[in-house]
A and B are shown apart, each in its own frame.
Chain A
Amino acid sequence: MATKAEVLRNKKYSEYIAAITPKTHLAQSLLYAFLIGGIFCLIGQLIYDSFEVIFPHYDHIRLGNITAMVLIAGASFLTGLGLYDKFARRGGAGSFLPITGFANAMASASMEFKTEGLTFGTSTKMFSVVGPVIVNGVVWSTVAALITMLVKVIAAAIGG
């Protein structure tokens, strides 16, 4: 397809582009990611601890679920108000890695396509951004559980 001269030219050009393209300020962006990510985790822990005080008889799994749910609902609400992407612009990974980023991705996609109607817009597009997370999560957790089972079966067979 591309001639040898073109390949060479493209290679040289991309080296030149790589050299002059401004880079993200690493230290600064790391600091923001650290701060914003840390704050989300801290808020999560605070929610967990307050529910632990209110409902002392709940086990830690239920408290964990409640924490995640509160964070998700809060992030969806912030997304609706148009505030979440404001700290995301600075926070980068600090805002998309926590579970709040997951909620933001879902809420933003579903709001964006509201204009196509609630069925074909919102409902079909809701998972358009978080789809990879759900799909990979289900596939690999299933694989992990099956492997664990297999290991147990083999171990039992050898042991027995």
Chain B
Amino acid sequence: MLQRLLTYLIVFTAGGAICALAQILVVKTKLTPARILVIFLVAGIIMQAVGLYERIHNVLRAGISVPIVGFGAALARGANQYAEQHGFIGAFAGGLAITAFGIGIAVVSSYIATLLFRAKSK
């Protein structure tokens, strides 16, 4: 039980800290959210490529996989995995193939949300 609570504490702190780091970029630089997302995404890809991500993830769990860093790492993991399975051409397909769960549900749920709701003026 205590172990579990500690995990949650780590997840909360780590996730919050990553977001706070991004917020520093928002406040201190003129970078737009899209740029910051791309920076963290590429950071995730690099971490995965050099084999660092897995080890961090074992400690931080959802604290690093829920922020966009996790998405980048999944893309890189997929590309790498498919490249090993299918050779050279796999590198192009793997990223999308492995993240298709998330992108797929995002497209479908956005579509459903669009059918059910309408945008409100604030």
Contact = CB atoms under 8 A, between A and B. Distances in A.
A147 B50 CA distance: 11
A136 B37 CA distance: 10
A157 to B, nearest CB: 16
Which among B15, B63, B88, B95 has the highest number of chain A CB atoms within 10 Å?
B15
Given A69-B101, A129-B34, A111 B66 contact: no
Given A65-B102, A76-B109, A137-B72, A93 B38 contact: no
A107 B102 contact: no
A99 B102 contact: yes
Contact of A112 (B8, B14, B18, B119): B119
A29 B27 contact: yes
Contacts of A107: 106, 109-110, 113-114
Nearest to B37: A133
B49 A94 contact: no
B3 to A, nearest CB: 12
Nearest to B36: A93
A34 B102 contact: no
A134 B19 CA distance: 20
B107 interface: yes
Contacts of B72: 137, 140-141
B109 A144 contact: no
B119 A97 contact: no
Interface of A: 23-24, 26, 29-30, 33-42, 44-46, 48-49, 64-65, 67-69, 71-73, 76-77, 79-82, 85, 91-94, 96-103, 106-112, 114, 118, 122, 126, 129, 132-134, 136-138, 140-142, 144-149
Interface string B103-119: 10111011111101111
Given A93-B36, A133-B38, A142-B95, A42 B15 contact: yes
Contacts of B20: 30, 33-34, 37, 93-94
29 contacts: A29-B26, A33-B20, A36-B19, A37-B19, A38-B16, A39-B12, A41-B66, A42-B8, A42-B62, A44-B15, A44-B65, A76-B110, A80-B114, A82-B117, A82-B120, A92-B26, A93-B25, A96-B22, A97-B67, A97-B68, A106-B110, A111-B119, A122-B111, A137-B71, A138-B75, A141-B45, A141-B79, A144-B80, A145-B82
B59 to A, nearest CB: 13
Given A33-B19, A76-B110, A93-B19, A99 B66 contact: yes
